[in-house]
Amino acid sequence: MSALTSACGLAATDYTLTIAGENAFILYLATQQISPAAAQQIALATTQLSPMVGQQLIELLPSYASLLIVFDPLQHSHLSIKPLLVQALAKPVNLLSQSPAKRVELPVWYSEQSGPDLLAVATAKGLTPAEVINLHSSTSYQVYAIGFAPGFAYLGELPEALAMPRLSSPRASVPAGSVAIADRQTAVYPAASPGGWHLLGRCPIAMFTPWQSPAMPVAVGDQVQFIPISEREFTLLGGTL
């Protein structure tokens, strides 16, 4: 039975559970292709297993086509927890009762000053900087996963016309708020960190505030649209270089 219907669980043929450490499994979808359908299946699996978090499970970490499941080793072993996971994943879920995905607009100051790779990307793709900005900001992106660092949301899919391989030599430090692309993905760096993605601009919105609830402006399954703004608007919204 397909996970794309409104109230059915995952069939045993939809996924595999692979041991991923002393107290963890990774659920891999049968198809490893990045797609909205795969994201919906991972969202369904996360919903099905969420009631176990705080009891048998410690954490669930969704990704593009997989879900890391961390269980409490004081209560269970791989052998004892697996049938409980399979049982939970098979249960029907009323998706209509789940919180709907939201549309999030993130302002971006695109420029060679705020995005040092903007011109290089344009040159590599045979475009003008304005065309790169238009392509990047006119696409609606789905939040496929949260990872790499707290608040780092992997968004896809980037238009094929902008697809770029990662930098051959990653930067030692990418400024917080940097809006970047790599392959068919785009993201906003939530904090200063090393990184090998191409930088197109800067977003003034904090992507991770652990003292607030929710701690992030986006969640897995949300749709993100980047909105071009001026340097002045960037500053007024709290952005700094």
Q: Integer distance in angstroms from the first to the last C-alpha of the chain?
A: 51
Q: Token pair of 153, please?
A: 């949301």
pTM score, whole prediction:
0.78
Give the CA-trace dihedral at 201, 205, 40, 99, to 10 degrees: -160
What are the Cα distances from residue 229, in Å, to 32, 83, 105, 133? 36, 51, 12, 11
**Using CA atoms, how far apart are residues 101 and 142, in angstroms rounded to an integer?**
10
CA distances from 170 to 80, 125, 174, 182 (A): 43, 20, 9, 12
Which of 91-100, 111-120, 171-180 is the least confident region? Answer: 91-100
Percent of the residues in the chain that have a pLDDT greater than 70, as a whole number: 94
Rounded Cα gap, residues 105 and 113, in angstroms = 22
Domain locations in the chain? 12-97, 103-236
Predicted local distance difference test score (pLDDT) of residue 214:
87
CATH of 103-236, one of 3.40.1160.10, 2.40.100.10, 2.160.10.10, 2.40.160.20: 2.40.100.10
The pLDDT score that the predictor gives to residue 5 is 42
DSSP state of 20: -
CA distances (Å), 29 to each of 10, 16, 41, 226, in order? 10, 7, 8, 30
pLDDT over 70 (residue 196): yes
CA–CA distance, 231 with 147 (Å, rounded to integer): 29
Per the document, the length of the chain is: 241
- Distance CA(85)–CA(79), nearest Å, equals 11
Banded pLDDT at 220 (limits 50, 70, 90)? confident
Average pLDDT, the chain: 90
Rounded CA separation 110/163 (Å): 17
Quick one: average pLDDT of 54-69? 90
The number of CA neighbours under 13 Å toward the Cβ of 155 is 29
* 12-97: in CATH 3.40.50.10070: no
pLDDT exceeds 90 at position 122 = yes
